[in-house]
Structure 1
Amino acid sequence: MEGISTKGVLSHLSLLEVQARSRKTRPEQPSRVKELKAKVEALRIQREQLKAEIETHKNLQKLRASMDKQSTHEEEEEEEEEEMDEDSENSELLRLMARHTQLEDLLHAHHIIGGYDVIKTSQGKGVCVSLATAYEGVYLETYNVEIDLKPRLRISRHNIPPFIPLDSLAEQSNLQAEVRTFLDALSKHLNGFAGRRQQLKLVKELHKPVEVMESNVLCSILVMLLTVPTVNTAVLCTLDYTDPTRCLPTRVHFECKANKALPESPEWKKNSSLLMETPVHKALMTMRKMGNIL
């Protein structure tokens, strides 16, 4: 009896479990169908959005092409724009989007080449990079280098002074792979030259008693005739700038025929160090205040 009752209880429990499962599955079926329908609708909406994005992208490409050719092919641009409704809000929006992507591309290029000013040339097949020079916070000359992008990077036009080794810098910096390295090296050479030339100009303006005897176009050498006030003795001062990227000399040489020992004196050795470490127009000002020169 005991075994039979136990078996009956187990069968009853099994039946209850089956019934409970059937109750749980029945209400879930409509919910599952509803969920699948919602997913299908979401996919349909996504498909329509993708179609619209593709169409927008095609129109943007067309507008970008016309904008890039604006300077040289204005008539072609007008014909392409006439294909779209001029009064359409969508058309105006597309133009704004195209202009936005164009500016983004220019900003990206500006960032890649290190912040130099750049504009597109040759219908987008090249760029013109502007390199500004400055000394002591004063902007001086601006130089331009036009670089063809296709089929390979090549300097096509420029107004860089002929004594700046442009081709050597392009080769040493590997222009094809490192445009920014090339531009940085070129900028250092240009700013070094501009700074030395500006110093020479300031020497002539601020130090009338100092006679400039010699200088070259690169301003890599400067020979000045200084006058010692106490004995009215002339001292020939030669500054060599062997590093073309710097505004300070790498060698200072004094020569005094009346007093050959003067350049080796402690006072004039200090003057030599001063000229090595300080821009020449400022160093001469200090030497004059100390009474070493007129």
Structure 2
Amino acid sequence: MTILVTGATGQLGRLVVEALLERNVPAEQIVAGGRNPAKLAELAQLGVQVRSLDYSDPASLREAFAGVEKALLVSGNEPGPRVAQHLDVIEAAKDADVKLLAYTSIPNADTTTMALAADHQDTERALRNSGVPFALLRNGWYLENYTEQLTGYLQHGSVFGSAGEGRLSGATRADLAQAAAAVLLADDQEGTVHELGGEPFTLVDLAREVSTATGQEVTYQDLAEADFAHLLVGAGVPEFFAKILADSDSGIARGELLVEGNALATLIGRPATTLGEAVRAAAGALATQEA
């Protein structure tokens, strides 16, 4: 069985390839696809097939899918244009007669009203109408979305947002990659929907964990959605994306990133990494850098 992982030059895609290797999938049965194959040289040295794959280049998609039986479509990172790109990937998968195409979507895609969800909803709809056997990996918010901002939290003494007391179910990229690998290797996954997230938390909990891990008091400052977007623009985030992020926080306030059940833990065979564990790891790494 040959398995293709798209977006393998990105963080999640690379981790999925590594997770497949950890699960003893022969390297030659894994295809790592990315726009810059040179970045996949280390995987090539392990025997992984490396292929050029650009979501905006249908010809490269057809070549990348040649001989592939199962594939993971890691969603593109350009809101708007990525829907057309995903449609091209789905078409290439259909032409290759793949047995399963897994897609990284967003939690509660059936009901969420978050602006960020629109592209995922369109892609899920296209998958259902395509005739291609599919599985949906509705990945919770990356914990790295927060832990990678640790320095900023400490500088300002605050976590800023517009999520109120809303709870969300986050997960590390590594855990979500392990879940993706498990789905790709399992039988009878056609039509399955996996709502994936770890132990729920609020942004107040996030601030508390940062304070505990670093010994510096950090509090959560809740803002109106428009004010939070304005703050993000002031920090250098493009206005279009700042509005999406602020809208996503409002989605958290409505509970739209809260995942019920324990599908993630079930797939990976252990409890998912908690927010506290992720923050402590990030704080430890930061302390090492500063030492």
What TM-score does the superposition give when structure 2 sets the normalisation length? 0.24
Q: Select the structure with the greater relative contact order (CA < 8 A; seq sep ≥ 6).
A: 2
> Which has the larger share of helix?
1
> Which has the larger share of strand?
1
